[in-house]
Structure 1
C-alpha cells in the first residue's frame, strides 16, 4: 500500500479545524515517535524509515511499528508504508536495539485526527503541532496503489482545496529534518 499524502503549513488553523469538524468528529492524540537507523545511516541513505510510534488518546495507549520504503512520487514524497500494531513498545525497542538499529531522533506530535470519506476514498486528515516547531501542519492521506497514485493525489489536492489549503501552502519538509535543524540551531 502506498500512502498518497500531502502535507501543508496551515495559516488559518481555526478555519481548517472548523471545516474538518464539519466532516466528522476529530480525536485528539499525542504521538511519541522514535525513528531508527543503522549506525552507518543505511536506511536514510536509501530513503527508508523505521519508526516506533506510541499514541496516547482518550481511548488509551497503543503502539505501532512502521516501515516506509523509498518515495515513489517525487512531487509529494509519497511512500509505500507497512505498519502493524505492537503489543509492547518497550519490547519492540529492545528487539530493534538487539538487531543493531539505533534511535536517531525522538519527538512528539500533538495531533487531531479526522477519518472520513471524500471523493469515493477513505481519507485521514491530521492537524499537527510539533512543540519544537513553529506553526501548524495538515497531513491528508489516502491509501493508493502505484497504478492509481496520480489519481489519489489529485483527490487529496481537491479535498485540501475544499479545506482552504492551496498549492502554495504544500511542503515536503520532514518533521525529522525540521526537528534536527531546530535542535542543532
Structure 2
C-alpha cells in the first residue's frame, strides 16, 4: 500500500482543531519514534525508513514497526508503507540492534488524530507538535494502491482545502531532518 499523504504548516491551530472536531472525534496521543539505519546509512541513501513507534494514548499503549520504501511521488514524498503492531517494544529494539541496525534519531510527537471518511476514502488527519520544532503541522493521509495515488492525492488536497490549508502551506520538510538540524544548532 502507498501512504498518500500531504503535510502542511498550520497557522491557526485552534481554528484547525475546531474544523477537525467537526469531522470526527479526536484522540490525543504521544508518539515516541526511533528511526534505525545501517552503520553506513544504506536505508537513508535509498530513501527508505525503518521506525519503531510507541504510541501512548488515553486507553492504551501500542507499538508498531514500520518500513517505508523510496518515494513513488516526488512532489508529495508519498511512499509505500508496511506496518505491523508488535507486542514487545524492547524486544523489537533489541532485535533490530542485533541485526546490525543502529538507532539514528529518536524524538517525540504530540498528536491529535482524527479518523473519518471523505471522498469515499478512509482518511487520517493528525495535528502534530514536535517539541523540538517550532510550529504546528497537519498530516492528512489515506492508504491506496499505487495505481490510485494521483486520485487519492487530489482527494487529500481537497480535504485540506476544505480545512483552510492553501498550497503555500504544504511542506515536504521531514521531522527527522528538522530535529537533526535543531540539535546541531
In which range does the TM-score fall when normalised by the shorter chain? Answer: over 0.9
2:92 is matched with 92
1:165 is matched with 165
C-alpha distance after superposition, 1:95-122 (max 9, x if no partner): 0000000000000000000000001000
Calculate the TM-score normalised by the size of structure 1. 0.99
Aligned mates of 1:105, 1:91 — CA distance in 2: 18
Structure 2, unaligned stretches of length 5 or more? Answer: none
Aligned mates of 1:134, 1:80 — CA distance in 2: 28
2:124 is matched with 124
Q: How many residues are treated as equivalent by the alignment?
A: 185
2:108 is matched with 108
Aligned mates of 1:58, 1:39 — CA distance in 2: 36
Aligned mates of 1:79, 1:128 — CA distance in 2: 19
Superposition pairs of residues 10-159 of structure 1, within 5 angstroms: 10-159=10-159
Aligned mates of 1:24, 1:117 — CA distance in 2: 9
Aligned mates of 1:166, 1:154 — CA distance in 2: 13
1:179 is matched with 179
C-alpha distance after superposition, 1:14-40 (max 9, x if no partner): 111100000110000000000000000
Aligned residue for 1:40, secondary structure, equals: coil
Aligned mates of 2:32, 2:65 — CA distance in 1: 12
- Measure how far apart 1:145 and its partner are: 1.2
Calculate the TM-score normalised by the size of structure 2. 0.99
Aligned residue for 1:93, secondary structure, equals: helix
Aligned mates of 1:103, 1:184 — CA distance in 2: 17
- Measure how far apart 1:51 and its partner are: 0.2
Aligned mates of 1:150, 1:60 — CA distance in 2: 35
Aligned residue for 2:151, secondary structure, equals: helix
- Measure how far apart 1:146 and its partner are: 1.1
Structure 1, unaligned stretches of length 5 or more? Answer: none
User: Would you identify which runs of 4 or more consecutive aligned residues in structure 1 move more than 6 Å?
Assistant: none
